[in-house]
Amino acid sequence: MSRSPHLPRADPATPGRTPVPGVAAVALATLAVLVTAADTYVVVLALPDILTGVGVGLDDLQRATPIVGGFLLGYTATLPLLGRLADLRGRTPVLVGCLLLFALGSLLTASADSLGLAVAGRGLQGIGAGGLVPATLALVADRWPPERRSVPLGVVGAVQEAGAVLGPLAGAAVLAAADWRAIFWLNLLLGLGLAAGIAAAARSRRPDGVGLALASLAALALALQLAEPAALAEDVTLGLLYVPVVEAWPWTTPLALVAVLAAAALGARSLATPAGALLPLRGLGALAREVDVLGSALAVVALGSLVWAFAAADPATQVVAHGRLLLPLAGVTALLFVLHERRTANPVLPLAAMRPVGAWGALLVNLLVGVALVAALVDIPLFARATTAPGDQLGAALVLLRLLVAVPVGAVAGGWLCRVVPPRLVAAVGMALAAVAFVAMTSWDERSLDGWPSTVVLLAAGLGFGLAIPPVNAVLLAVTRPEVHGSAGALAVVARTVGMLAGLSLLTAVALRRFTAEVAAIGTPMELCPTTPADCAAYDAATEAALLTQLHTVFAGAAIAAGLAAVAALVLLRSSGPVRGPAGG
At residue 570, the pLDDT reads 94
Q: Say whether both 79 and 156 belong to one domain.
A: yes
Least confident window among 41-55, 279-293, 297-311: 279-293
At residue 433, the pLDDT reads 97
Rounded Cα gap, residues 240 and 238, in angstroms:
5
At residue 314, the pLDDT reads 64
Rounded Cα gap, residues 548 and 383, in angstroms:
7
| 188 within a domain of the structure (yes/no) | yes
Give the ranges where 235-292 is alpha helix by DSSP (H): 254-272, 284-290
- The percent of residues above 70 in pLDDT, for the chain, comes to 86
At residue 427, the pLDDT reads 94
- What size, in residues, is the chain? 585
Q: Say whether both 111 and 29 belong to one domain.
A: yes
In the predicted structure, residue 581 carries a pLDDT above the cut 60: no
One-letter amino acid for residue 238 of the chain? L
At residue 10, the pLDDT reads 40
Q: Say whether both 341 and 436 belong to one domain.
A: no
Core vs surface per residue 141-165: b (16+ CB within 10 A) or e: bbbbebbebbbbbbbbbbbbbbbbb
Q: Which residue has the higher pLDDT, 429 or 523?
A: 429
In the predicted structure, residue 544 carries a pLDDT above the cut 90: no
Q: Which DSSP symbol is given to 322?
A: T
In the predicted structure, residue 245 carries a pLDDT above the cut 60: yes
Q: Say whether both 553 and 452 belong to one domain.
A: yes
DSSP 545-571: HHHHHHHHHHHHHHHHHHHHHHHHHHH
At residue 516, the pLDDT reads 78
At residue 206, the pLDDT reads 62
In the predicted structure, residue 582 carries a pLDDT above the cut 50: no
Rounded Cα gap, residues 324 and 471, in angstroms:
38
Q: pLDDT tens digits for 134-148?
A: 889 888 888 888 877
Q: Which residue has the higher pLDDT, 440 or 67?
A: 440
At residue 371, the pLDDT reads 92
Counted domains in the chain: 4
> Average of pLDDT values for 501-528?
78
Among 277, 303, 324, the domain boundary falls at: 277
In the predicted structure, residue 580 carries a pLDDT above the cut 50: no
Least confident window among 263-272, 305-314, 403-412, 571-580: 571-580
In the predicted structure, residue 95 carries a pLDDT above the cut 80: yes
Chain-centroid distance of CA 133 in Å reads 8
Rounded Cα gap, residues 150 and 472, in angstroms:
10
What average pLDDT is seen over the chain? 81
Q: pLDDT tens digits for 190-207?
A: 998 998 888 888 765 566
Give the ranges where 276-356 is alpha helix by DSSP (H): 284-290, 293-311, 323-343
Domain ranges, residue 328: 292-345
| 3 within a domain of the structure (yes/no) | no
| Residue 108, domain CATH | 1.20.1250.20
| 5 within a domain of the structure (yes/no) | no
DSSP 397-447: HHHHHHHHTHHHHHHHHHHHHTTTS-HHHHHHHHHHHHHHHHHHHTT--TT
Q: Which residue has the higher pLDDT, 535 or 281?
A: 535
| 387 within a domain of the structure (yes/no) | yes
At residue 15, the pLDDT reads 38
Q: Say whether both 218 and 192 belong to one domain.
A: no
| 7 within a domain of the structure (yes/no) | no
Tell me the whole-structure pTM to 2 decimals: 0.77
Rounded Cα gap, residues 444 and 429, in angstroms:
23
In the predicted structure, residue 351 carries a pLDDT above the cut 50: yes
At residue 5, the pLDDT reads 45
- The percent of residues above 90 in pLDDT, for the chain, comes to 17
Rounded Cα gap, residues 141 and 348, in angstroms:
20
Instruction: Specify the 3-state DSSP secondary structure of 316.
Output: coil
237 C-beta neighbours (distance < 10 Å), count: 7
In the predicted structure, residue 275 carries a pLDDT above the cut 90: no
> Average of pLDDT values for 205-218?
74
Q: Which residue has the higher pLDDT, 549 or 235?
A: 549
Q: Which residue has the higher pLDDT, 531 or 36?
A: 36
Q: Say whether both 132 and 26 belong to one domain.
A: yes
Rounded Cα gap, residues 432 and 564, in angstroms:
9
Task: Label residue 318 by pLDDT band (50, 70, 90).
Answer: low
Which residues are CB-contacts of 445 (< 8 A; sequence separation ≥ 6)?
387, 548
| 325 within a domain of the structure (yes/no) | yes
Least confident window among 299-308, 446-455, 487-496: 299-308
Residue 169: HSE in the Cβ half-sphere, 13 Å Cα cutoff: 11
Task: Label residue 3 by pLDDT band (50, 70, 90).
Answer: very low
Core vs surface per residue 503-526: b (16+ CB within 10 A) or e: bbbbbbbbbbebbeebbeebeebe
Among 219, 250, 277, the domain boundary falls at: 277
At residue 288, the pLDDT reads 66
Q: Say whether both 419 and 408 belong to one domain.
A: yes
Rounded Cα gap, residues 23 and 150, in angstroms:
15
At residue 346, the pLDDT reads 76
Between 115-143 and 181-202, two packed helices, what is the crossing angle to 10 degrees? 30
Q: pLDDT tens digits for 464-499?
A: 999 998 899 889 988 888 888 888 888 888 888 888
Q: Say whether both 61 and 77 belong to one domain.
A: yes
> Average of pLDDT values for 268-294?
69
Q: pLDDT tens digits for 31-84?
A: 999 998 888 777 766 777 787 887 766 555 555 667 777 787 788 878 888 888
| 284 within a domain of the structure (yes/no) | no
| 128 within a domain of the structure (yes/no) | yes
Phi, psi for 433 (deg, rounded to 5): -65, -40
Nearest to 419 by CA among 148, 223, 155: 148
Q: Say whether both 72 and 168 belong to one domain.
A: yes
Least confident window among 51-60, 170-179, 242-251, 329-338: 51-60
Instruction: Specify the 3-state DSSP secondary structure of 574.
Output: coil
At residue 457, the pLDDT reads 95
Task: Label residue 350 by pLDDT band (50, 70, 90).
Answer: confident
CB 466 within 8 A of CB 410: yes
CB 262 within 8 A of CB 217: yes
Q: Say whether both 395 and 298 belong to one domain.
A: no
Least confident window among 32-36, 307-311, 559-563: 307-311
Q: Say whether both 202 and 212 belong to one domain.
A: no
- Euclidean distance between the first and final Cα of the chain, in Å? 38
Instruction: Specify the 3-state DSSP secondary structure of 583.
Output: coil
Task: Label residue 11 by pLDDT band (50, 70, 90).
Answer: very low
Q: Which DSSP symbol is given to 348?
A: S
Q: Say whether both 298 and 386 belong to one domain.
A: no
80 C-beta neighbours (distance < 10 Å), count: 28
CB 152 within 8 A of CB 144: yes
At residue 147, the pLDDT reads 76
Rounded Cα gap, residues 363 and 585, in angstroms:
18
Q: pLDDT tens digits for 96-131?
A: 889 989 998 998 888 888 888 888 898 899 899 988
